[in-house]
């Protein structure tokens, strides 16, 4: 449960959310897309108020935001390029959406550009289930870029990765925020990565905002306090 959380994600910024299991981090991301309906308050997404948006308006607004999950959700038997192209399904009409072979040329070109942006153009025709964990997560980020999202919401995107791959993914998300002007919100369990790559760090405990500051001004004891009495689920 969230209580009184007032938070903005700004274009060109990587906002990191820290907190123990059960603190409400994942709930915050889901509320931002109205995957969980809030009991009160307002929700703005990509410049529009979606608090009371109907189904069609909400669907259109959600196209402007992409989720990147802890469990990397790729179609295992499809190539990296095809998985990236799936990010454009929301803007492909009718029969063309039935097969990646029917995708419009502009979607194919956008898929290539997105793969190049994440440094994986050479893996374009490799099946998703043969990629490393770090490569697969970068394909998921490329899919978000192909979606033409203005906001990326990443829910513990590096929790299953080794330290080097985790660094690569966080560095990529930070660069996408800064160079491409996207608003990137990333839930993490690694304070050291939050301090290294975040522009702002938000601490949440028991559904409440504890602090919201730049990495240089967040003390280690404040971070440690977030994880006291950690619960089993989030």
Q: What is the pLDDT of residue 233?
A: 41
State mean pLDDT over 134-151: 95
What percent of the chain clears pLDDT 70, i.e. is strictly above it?
92
pLDDT at 24 over 70: yes
Most confident of 23-27, 64-68, 142-146, 206-210: 142-146
| pLDDT for position 18 | 95
- 207-225 pLDDT, tens per residue? 889 999 999 999 999 999 8
Q: Is the pLDDT of residue 136 over 90?
A: yes
Q: For the chain, what is the mean pLDDT?
A: 88
Mean pLDDT to the nearest integer, 14-40: 89
pLDDT digits (tens, 9 = 90+) for 43-79: 888 778 888 888 888 888 888 899 998 888 898 999 9
pLDDT digits (tens, 9 = 90+) for 81-121: 999 998 887 766 654 544 566 677 888 899 999 999 999 99
For the chain, the DSSP string reads ---S------TTEEEEEE--TTSSHHHHHHHHTTSS--SSS--EETTEE-TT--HHHHHHHHTTEEEE-SS----TTSBHHHHHHGGGGGG--GGGGG-GGG--HHHHHHHHHHHHHTT-GGGTTSBGGGS-HHHHHHHHHHHHHHTT-SEEEEESTTTTS-HHHHHHHHHHHHHHHHHH--EEEEEES-HHHHHHH-SEEEEEETTEEEEEE-GGG--HHHHHHHTTT--S--
């Amino acid at each position: 449960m969230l209580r009184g959380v007032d938070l903005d994600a700004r274009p060109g910024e990587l906002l990191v959310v820290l907190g123990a299991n059960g603190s409400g981090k994942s709930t915050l991301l889901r509320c931002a897309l109205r995957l969980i309906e809030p009991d009160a308050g307002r929700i703005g997404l990509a410049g529009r108020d979606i608090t009371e948006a109907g189904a069609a308006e909400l669907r259109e607004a959600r196209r402007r935001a992409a989720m990147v999950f802890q469990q990397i959700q790729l179609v295992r038997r499809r190539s990296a390029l095809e998985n990236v192209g799936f990010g454009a399904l929301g803007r492909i009409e009718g029969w063309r959406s039935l097969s990646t072979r029917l995708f419009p040329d502009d979607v194919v070109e956008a898929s290539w550009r997105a793969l190049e942006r994440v440094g994986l153009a050479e893996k374009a025709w490799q099946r998703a289930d043969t990629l490393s964990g770090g490569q697969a997560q970068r394909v998921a980020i490329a899919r978000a870029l192909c979606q033409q999202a203005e906001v990326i919401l990443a829910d513990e995107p590096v929790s299953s990765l080794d330290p080097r791959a985790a660094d690569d993914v966080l560095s990529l998300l930070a660069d996408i925020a800064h160079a491409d002007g996207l608003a990137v919100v990333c839930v993490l369990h690694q304070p050291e990565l939050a301090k290294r790559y975040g522009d702002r760090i938000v601490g949440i405990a028991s559904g409440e905002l504890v602090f919201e500051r730049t990495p240089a001004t967040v003390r280690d004891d404040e971070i440690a306090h977030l994880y006291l009495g950690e619960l089993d689920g989030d």
